[in-house]
Amino acid sequence: MTSILNNISDKNDNVLLYYKGNWQPSETIETVKFPFNGEEYCSYYVGNPSIVNKAIEHANETILKMKALPLWQRASILNKAADYFEEIMDETAQVLVYETGKTLKDAKGEIQRTISTLRFSADAAKNLHSETIPLDAMKGGDNKVSFSIHEPVGVVGAITGFNFPLLLAAHKLGPAFAGGNTVILKPSPGTPLTSMMMAYAFEQAGLPSGALHVINGDVEVGEAIVRHNSVAAVSFTGSSNVGKKISEQAKYKKVLLELGSNAATIIDKSADIDIVVDKCIAGGFSTVGQSCISVQRIIAHEKIYQELQEKLKERVSELKTGDPFDEATDVPTVFTQSSKERIGQWIEEAKQQGAEVLAGGQVKSRILEPTLLANVSPNMKVFYEEIFGPVITVIPFSDFNEAISIVNNSAYGLQAGVFTNDLKNAWQAIYEIEAGSVHINEVSSFRADHMPYGGVKDSGIGKEGPTSVINELTNKKVVSFQL
């Protein structure tokens, strides 16, 4: 264990829960296992609905204290937390690799993005300003002055996914605290450690006691948070099926859902193929393809389809699999054995339906080889479902209208990439693709952490990004004066 984990563990090295301003045990202990080899890394305490209720009660009592914090102080706390992660970069990266199985390079990239997200949240806090309303624009509004102010919604229930446990926690906590809210955070089962390190960072940064509670657990803990009457808003990152259940359970609460996708990238005949290949390989196989905007569906013009296939095949075949701590490793293992088996079954099913495996497709020990599939069709699971693994599919098109139709023929709509030097096609893609974001001459996996980020259809509700989330997690109160 690292020194930080020792600071938040009991005498038996079990990582404690963080609630009611203290590090506390519970009745249940579970274990983080290194996805690469299945070996036990660290044990941690798991919460229950009773602990959730206690945490929410304390969070509710702390709302006025958080609301009273001036904006500069909220920003200062966020920046101090970011400073802390800069100091413990190497230690945090080690923990991230052990709990997620991603490469050390990807882990350090996640920490850098976490630091940026906290700093963007600090900037957003300092820019949380009132808006004036010209009441004299209507008859009877003479000699009246009006403006709006931002007030926190209250207790926020935040539930994160396993693929970016530290970064997703930052995207939930940073804007929530910038807006003056309190938070109950539930990390994904199996990846609780970096969220606990986040709690420790905020504790060291001077966050008021009771503003943050981190409760590990599975479905019963999540449901206890979502259903509780004192929780004003729920922010969830995960699968579309779970997101729909949360939306039903939350009833009249404000709900922000960042859900799944089978992200598409169109390659027009005018695109620079070498640039496309570089970006698609990075966008499809970094973090083992376990990202909801990972490049999954490549839709390529028939004139460049064969050349693109060959270059992608060559590059995918060169990717190195193995230990995520090995600097030579490009693609380690997927997070769980069940995910590996599911993806393998989908590949076999696609092969039976006529798909061709150009590269990879085999399971070696606990590792699923990075895979490239051609001759796929829209009725195959590898194309219309979310793979969430190291698999890219390629399909041709002859007309740009057809390409957009293929992209839109999906239950999802998070992000899309389009490579083209044809301005008309670029604008058509911007206006006609059904997605939360369209990136021209960039892959679907592009994301800047301060930009509005979120999807349509089954890909979610609302936008992430610090400024966007602050607007979601604050209420505008309108004030007027008769002069």
pLDDT for 3 equals 83
Q: Is 284 helix (H, G, I), strand (E, B) or coil?
A: helix
Check whether residue 467 and residue 441 sit in a common domain. no
Model confidence pLDDT, tens digit, residues 214-242: 999 999 999 999 999 999 999 999 999 99
pLDDT for 1 equals 67
- Look up 280 and say whether it is catalytic: no
The mean pLDDT value for 53-62 works out to: 98
Check whether residue 291 and residue 437 sit in a common domain. yes
- The answer to whether 86 and 57 have CB atoms below 8 angstroms apart is no
Check whether residue 275 and residue 200 sit in a common domain. no
The kind and range of the H/E element at 151 are: strand 144-152
Residue 150 falls inside a structural domain = yes
Check whether residue 222 and residue 280 sit in a common domain. no
pLDDT for 236 equals 98
Model confidence pLDDT, tens digit, residues 289-342: 999 999 999 999 999 999 999 999 999 999 999 999 999 999 999 999 999 999
* 2 pLDDT more than 80: no
- The answer to whether 380 and 352 have CB atoms below 8 angstroms apart is no
Taking CA atoms, 474 is separated from 128, 132, 376, 383, in Å, by 10, 17, 45, 38
Residue range of the domain that includes 442: 264-449
Q: β-strand 264-267 against 212-214: which pairing, if any?
A: unpaired
Q: How confident is the model at residue 392 (pLDDT cuts 50, 70, 90)?
A: very high
Residue 270 falls inside a structural domain = yes
Model confidence pLDDT, tens digit, residues 362-385: 988 889 999 999 999 999 999 999
Residue 33 falls inside a structural domain = yes
Q: Is 399 helix (H, G, I), strand (E, B) or coil?
A: coil
Check whether residue 225 and residue 311 sit in a common domain. no
Distance CA 364, CA 350 (A): 19
Residue 25 falls inside a structural domain = yes
* 212 pLDDT more than 90: yes
Distance CA 113, CA 129 (A): 26
pLDDT for 279 equals 98
Contacts of 165 (CB under 8 A, 6+ apart): 96, 99, 100, 187, 188, 191, 192, 193, 194, 195
Give exposure, 172-199, as e/b (b: 16+ Cβ within 10 Å): bbbbbbbbbbbbbbbbbbbbbbbbbbbb
Residue 303 falls inside a structural domain = yes
Which CATH number fits the domain that encloses residue 412? 3.40.309.10
- Look up 42 and say whether it is catalytic: no
Q: Which of 42, 203, 280, 292 is catalytic?
A: 292
Instruction: Fill in the DSSP letter of residue 9.
Output: B
Q: What is the mean pLDDT of the chain?
A: 96
Q: Which of 258, 386, 464, 472 is catalytic?
A: 258
Number of domains observed in the structure of the chain: 2
Model confidence, pTM = 0.97
Check whether residue 104 and residue 232 sit in a common domain. yes
Check whether residue 341 and residue 369 sit in a common domain. yes
Check whether residue 315 and residue 464 sit in a common domain. no
Model confidence pLDDT, tens digit, residues 233-272: 999 999 999 999 999 999 899 999 999 999 999 999 999 9
Q: Which residue has the tokens 């590898």?
A: 382
Which CATH number fits the domain that encloses residue 197? 3.40.605.10
Instruction: Look up residue 188 and give its two tokens.
Output: 């994904």
Distance CA 277, CA 317 (A): 13
Taking CA atoms, 452 is separated from 187, 371, 388, 483, in Å, by 23, 31, 22, 39
Check whether residue 21 and residue 120 sit in a common domain. yes
Check whether residue 250 and residue 268 sit in a common domain. no
Check whether residue 381 and residue 425 sit in a common domain. yes
pLDDT for 130 equals 87
* 121 pLDDT more than 80: yes
Q: Report the DSSP beta bridge partners of residue 368.
A: 363
pLDDT for 365 equals 80
The mean pLDDT value for 340-361 works out to: 96
The mean pLDDT value for 337-352 works out to: 95
Closest CA to 262 of 289, 235, 234: 289
The mean pLDDT value for 406-410 works out to: 98
Check whether residue 410 and residue 471 sit in a common domain. no
